[in-house]
Amino acid sequence: MTDSDCPDDELVERTRGGDDQAFELLMRRHAEPIRRLIARYCRNRSMVDDLAQETFVKAYFRLGSFRNESPFIYWLKQVAIRLCIDEMRRRKVRGGEEETIDSVAERMSGPDQRERAESRMALNKVLGPLSPVDRMVLVLLYGEGYGVGEVAGLTGLSGANVKVRAFRLRRRLRALYGGEFS
């Protein structure tokens, strides 16, 4: 079995034993899903790589607390989610940078990029006033496609709490988007 076929658990064990090469493999394997999750959560693009790097650094030093009960990527996402929420709380306090339609459109490809950028900005307007946790619930439910139970496990909230937050979010989003389709 080559290193690239090696299961995560084994790579984690090897990292714990001091094999940094194993951690490099873990990083390369899971960098994209983590960066994608963070990108869905943060409006500020410059934060994505910083938070993703911080996630892996934290994971490296806290590998001892990973107990093979769930897949490694699930644990890694928990670390990323906590970091994102903390960072968003800090930014809410001191006021973060806002995206402009042009900066969003710049990153989008295709003929309707301006229209999609506007749509994305509309969503940003909804996301803006949301609490960091509500925002994460929204991203996990509709962006990542997780179920209520999984969102509860990832965020540390209770299932009932996730349901309540999801209900309020749906109502808010329906008000935003529903007008256009009704």
Q: How far is the CB of 7 from other proteins (least distance, A)?
A: 21
Are 59 and 76 in contact by the 8 Å Cβ rule? The answer is yes
- The two counts, helices (H) then strands (E), for the chain are 9, 0
What is the smallest separation between the CB atom of 175 and other proteins, expressed in angstroms?
9
Nearest-approach distance from CB 69 to other proteins, in angstroms: 25
Q: Residues 80, 26, 30, 54: what is their CA dihedral angle, to the nearest 10 degrees?
A: 30
User: Which residues lie near other proteins (CB under 8 A)?
Assistant: 20, 24, 27-28, 31-32, 35-36, 39-40, 48-49, 52-54, 56-57, 60-61, 107-109, 116, 119-120, 122-123, 138-139, 142-143, 173-174, 176-178, 180-182
Per-residue buried b or exposed e for 25-63, using 16+ beta carbons within 10 Å of the residue's own CB? bbbebbbeebbebbbbbbbbeebbeebbebbbeebeeeb
Phi and psi (nearest 5°) for 25? -65, -45
Q: Which of 161, 110, 54 is nearest to 119 (CA)?
A: 110
Which is nearer to other proteins, 6 or 31 (by Cβ)? 31
Indicate the residue among 46 and 93 with the shorter CB distance to other proteins: 46
Between 49 and 86, whose beta carbon lies closer to other proteins?
49
Supply the minimum distance, in Å, between the C-beta of residue 123 and other proteins.
4
Residue among 69 and 86 whose Cβ is closer to other proteins:
86
Q: How far is the CB of 82 from other proteins (least distance, A)?
A: 17
